[in-house]
Structure 1
Amino acid sequence: MPVTAAPAVLRRRTGIAAGAALVLCLAATGCSGLGRTAVGPVEYRTAEDEVVSVNSPSVKGCHEMEGDGAREVVNETKIDMILYPTRDCSGGGTTYVATTFTDINSPRNAPWRSYRFVH
């Protein structure tokens, strides 16, 4: 003869499972807006041949590059980025760099001076 749980026990287990799922959903939603970063490094080589590495920068806002800008940019983050020849992420002449890709700027062109993430 099979053993079955009483209806009260099943309701209690279902209620506990539903409550746990609700808590997990609320925790995930609450944390999603906290200082999101582009997990991984952005590395670039300046015009002075200095290598700069920025680990997990914020996905929000414009990021100004050091020195006179960059000739080579390596995007090892999990988010695509846009490079700008201006210091304030404005204007044209931009370049799109997908995640895990590198952009090497021609010496004839102005260096990249800022970047922002596509999110």
Structure 2
Amino acid sequence: MSVPASQSTAPTSRRRRQRRLTAGAVLLVLATTACSSLGRTAVGTVSYAIGPETAVSLTSPKVTGCHRLPPSGTTQVYNNTLVDMIMYRTPNCTGKDTVYLGSRLANNVAPRALPWRSYSFVH
């Protein structure tokens, strides 16, 4: 005895299962996307010198926002993170005199140039 295709239960249960899997995958992607920017950090360290004898290292700083350096600024920066940076001569990450500092690179300021006073990450 054969059953007409419209009455068969196998295709509908397969379709339901496929729809559930698809819906679950979509929800997982949406949840991951929504939470991905929360607390993102630049994996690695940012190091800079303050004067001739003091060095500072920050481990995994946040990717978002402007990061201020000490008021005196710095003339040596080491970006040992997985994210590129932009260096600014102002304390609030503004101005046109900037330098793009790629991931795992360093920058030294020219002898008579102004020091770096802030930085942000490219994300």
Q: Does 1:41 align with 2:45?
A: yes
Question: Aligned-pair distance for 1:24?
Answer: 1.1
Name stretches of at least 5 consecutive residues in structure 2 with no aligned partner.
Answer: 1-8
One-letter identity of the residue aligned with 2:57: S
Q: Which has the larger radius of gyration?
A: 2
1:77 to 81, 101, 109: 81
Task: Count residues with an aligned counterpart.
Answer: 115
| Residue in 2 that maps onto 1:27 | 31
Question: Aligned-pair distance for 1:67?
Answer: 5.4
Query: Under a length normalisation based on structure 2, what TM-score does the superposition of the two structures give?
Result: 0.78
One-letter identity of the residue aligned with 1:7: P
Question: Aligned-pair distance for 1:93?
Answer: 2.4
2:104 to 84, 100, 105: 100
Query: Under a length normalisation based on structure 1, what TM-score does the superposition of the two structures give?
Result: 0.81
One-letter identity of the residue aligned with 2:77: V
Cα distance in 2, alignment partners of residues 92 and 7 from structure 1: 63
| Residue in 2 that maps onto 1:91 | 95
Which secondary structure state, in structure 1, belongs to the residue aligned with residue 120 of structure 2?
Answer: strand
Which secondary structure state, in structure 2, belongs to the residue aligned with residue 30 of structure 1?
Answer: helix
| Residue in 2 that maps onto 1:117 | 121
One-letter identity of the residue aligned with 1:44: Y
Question: Aligned-pair distance for 1:42?
Answer: 1.1
Cα distance in 2, alignment partners of residues 70 and 50 from structure 1: 11
Listed one character per residue, the Cα deviations across residues 45-100 of structure 1 (whole Å, up to 9, x for unaligned) are 12243111112222222111135221111112222111112212222322110111
- Check whether the contact 2:71–2:91 (CA below 8 A) recurs between aligned residues: no
Which secondary structure state, in structure 1, belongs to the residue aligned with residue 81 of structure 2?
Answer: coil
Identical pairs, percent? 45
